[in-house]
Amino acid sequence: MSHGVVSMADQFHFDPGTYLEMVRAEVPDYEQLQEVVAEAASEIRADTILDLGTGTGETLRHVARRHPTARLLGIDESDRMLDVARKVVPAADLRVARLQDELPEGPFDLVVSALAVHHLDAPEKAALFRRVAARLAPGGRFVLADVVVPDDPNDAVTPLDAGYDLPDRADEQLQWMRDATLTATLRWTQRDLAVLIGDRKRY
Ligand SMILES: C[S@@+](CC[C@H](N)C(=O)[O-])C[C@H]1O[C@@H](n2cnc3c(N)ncnc32)[C@H](O)[C@@H]1O
């Protein structure tokens, strides 16, 4: 499927053919991060799941294993990355879209995202969290795994590209989740990686 728009990811950053090899080398805790996301996702009964920044489909694949009957939807600005994901998670509806734009129509029981939201600047992240909260079903959960600015500068170990990788602190992002009316908790941290959870109230 050709899209006509060349994304930042396509131009400069991610080669779908070598992505997994590259990310495993640059993020040694990559597999653990995906497992923590899938575990947090498994605590919610989910019929509908949205993945933000699907890439080659690794996050959605891990989460879908815990929710085999759920309707899966994923968005990414790179159609080339999604072409790989279409083979990895064939049941998913995968769409070319930017995280800064309107999200697909919900509601979703689960919204997940790994290693993608740090490409947004701080106001864009806060705005995204508000749009996620608006798309979550009552009792729904947002699981966000990403590179963050760590407390200890020595823990900033993930290679970053200036201008494209824009991590923020985990505590700031938890506050933006709260500002978006979600109940926010820090589930896991490892050096400059974190998994944050934002739960929408049931009533
Ligand atoms: C590092 S990959 C992560 C993919 C997958 N979640 C994983 O953990 O392997 C980041 C993905 O985010 C996408 N991305 C980056 N900025 C984006 C944006 N503003 N809107 C939509 N997708 C974006 C890239 O195209 C890329 O596929």
* Alpha-carbon span 83 to 12, nearest angstrom: 18
Give tens-digit pLDDT for 69-110: 999 999 999 999 999 999 999 999 999 999 999 999 999 999
**Cα gap 96→3, rounded to integer Å:** 8
The tens digit of pLDDT for each residue in 134-190 reads 999 999 999 999 999 999 999 999 999 999 999 999 999 999 999 999 999 999 999
Provide the pLDDT for residue 6: 55
Residue 138 DSSP SS3: strand
**65 found inside a domain:** yes
Ligand 1 site, residue 33, Cβ cutoff 6 A: no
Tell me which of 18, 56, 84, 119 to substitute to probe ligand 1's pocket, judged by most ligand atoms within 8 Å of the beta carbon: 119
Please give the tally of structural domains in the chain.
Answer: 1
User: Cα(102)–Cα(146) distance, rounded to whole angstroms?
Assistant: 21
In a domain, 143, yes or no: yes
Q: Is 194 in the pocket of ligand 1 (CB under 6 A)?
A: no
Is residue 118 in some structural domain? yes
Would you call the peptide bond into 16 cis, given omega within 30 degrees of 0 as the criterion?
A: no
- Position 98 in a domain: yes
Q: Is 3 contained in some domain?
A: no
CATH number of residue 79's parent domain: 3.40.50.150
Check if 60 has its Cβ closer than 6 Å to any atom of ligand 1.
Answer: no
Q: What is the mean pLDDT of residues 9-35?
A: 87
Instruction: Give the structural domain span for 166.
Output: 8-199
| This model's pTM is above 0.85 | yes
2 in a domain, yes or no?
no
Q: Is residue 26 assigned to a domain?
A: yes
Q: Is residue 1 domain-resident?
A: no
Tokens of 38: 């899938």
